[in-house]
Amino acid sequence: MPKINIICGDAIEELGKLDSNSVDLIIADPPYNLGKDYGNNHDLKNFDEYLEFTTLWLSQAKRVLKKDGTIYVFMGVRFISYLYAILERELKLSFNSWICWHYTQGLGKTKGFSPRHDDILMFTKSKKFNFYLDNIRIPQKYYRSRNNMRGANPGDVWLFSHVHYCNENRQKHPTQKPEGLIERMVLASSCENDFVVDPFSGSGTTLRVCQQLKRICLGIELNPEYVENTNKRLAQKFTGFDSIDERMSRIPYDLNDEKTRNEYLRNHEKWFLNNHPNALEKFYKEAKVKYDYDYNDTKVETEMSLFSFMNEKI
C-alpha cells in the first residue's frame, strides 16, 4: 500500500473494508449537518437520520482502531452533545479531551452570540493509549529555572484562524481545516509509520500533514473532484504548514544569562518550528528585537547542553 492513499467512496462502506484493530489514529471531520454544499453531496439529513449515520460510521471507526488507538472528531455546536453521548454511552469509548478550536473570525449574528469555535472530541479505545506530549509542547512565557523550558502543554483551547482565501494553500473546498491544527493531533497521537485514517478527507488536509510527518495515511472522500484536487495538493512543493499556533514563535522573557539564552534560542527552532520554515523569519526578528540576538553570529560553544536533560525526552 502506498504511504499516502485516497479512496473515492463512502466512509461507512470503506471503513468496513479495513481490518479490525489495524488503525493507530483516526482524524474525522464529518459533515456537521448544517446544509453545506459539498458538490455531489448535500449536508442535510433529518435529525434521526444524521444520528444514525453518525453511529454507523463511528461503530466502524471503533472496530478498526487498535486497542491503544485514538480518535479525534470535529463537530459544530448543534450536534456536539449528541456526538459525545454516542462516543461515550453507546460505543463505550474512553473520554480524554474536549478541545475548543477558536477560529477568531466568522459570520456575525444579530440575535445571539456570533459563533467563533468548533469542538473536537478526543476519545481513546482503552485507557492504555499513546500520547507524545514532548512533540506538541509550546514555548514558555518566561524563563524560570523551575520551568520546563522544553515547553508547556498547549491546553485544550486551540487558536488557529481559518485558511483564508488569500493564503496560497487555500483549496477549492468550503470547510478546509488549517494544517497546524491537524499537525498537533498527528504529532500528539502517532509516530512515524503509524497508520492514520481520515474518513471524510475533504481537501486532503490530514493526508498532506501525514505526508510531511511520514505517517501512513488513508483518506476517504465521497466527492471525486475533491479527490482529484487532493492528489494535486499532495504533489505540490512543501514550504511549511499553512498555519501555526502563534505561541510557537514566542520567546520567553527573562532569558538574562547569555549562555542559557543562546542555547535556548538555538533549541527553540528545533523544538517548536520544525515543520514551519515559513515562520522562521518572524521568529528571528523577535529574537533580534527582544535580545539583540543574531542567528548568523551566535555559536553554541560546547556540545554539553544546559538543556540536555530535556533533549533526551524529545
Ligand X SMILES: C[S@@+](CC[C@H](N)C(=O)[O-])C[C@H]1O[C@@H](n2cnc3c(N)ncnc32)[C@H](O)[C@@H]1O
Chain residues binding ligand X by CB under 6 A are: 10-11, 29-31, 38, 41, 173, 175-177, 200, 202-203, 205, 220-223, 226
Residue 38 or 241: the one with the smaller Cβ distance to ligand X is: 38
Nearer to ligand X, 10 or 88 (CB): 10
Residue nearest to ligand X (CB): 202
Closest CA to 185 of 234, 245, 240: 245
* CB closer to ligand X, 96 vs 201: 201
Q: Helix, strand, or coil here: 117?
A: strand
CB nearer to ligand X: pick between 226 and 241: 226
Q: Nearest approach, Cβ of 24 to ligand X (angstroms)?
A: 19
What does each C-alpha distance from 30 to 12, 24, 26, 248 come to in angstroms? 12, 19, 12, 28
At residue 71, what are phi and psi to the nearest 5 degrees?
-130, 135
What is the torsion angle, in degrees rounded to the nearest 10, for the CA atoms of residue 141, residue 244, residue 97 and residue 90?
180
User: CA-CA distance, 170 to 203, in Å (whole number)?
Assistant: 9
Q: Among residues 35 and 112, whose Cβ is nearest to ligand X?
A: 35
* Cβ 8 to ligand X shortest distance, Å: 9
Report the alpha-carbon distance of residue 261 to residue 300 in Å, rounded.
Answer: 10
Q: How far is the CB of 198 from ligand X (least distance, A)?
A: 7
At its nearest, how many Å lie between ligand X and the CB of residue 103? 13
Q: How far is the CB of 300 from ligand X (least distance, A)?
A: 39
In the numeric block, the cell 515543520 is attached to 275
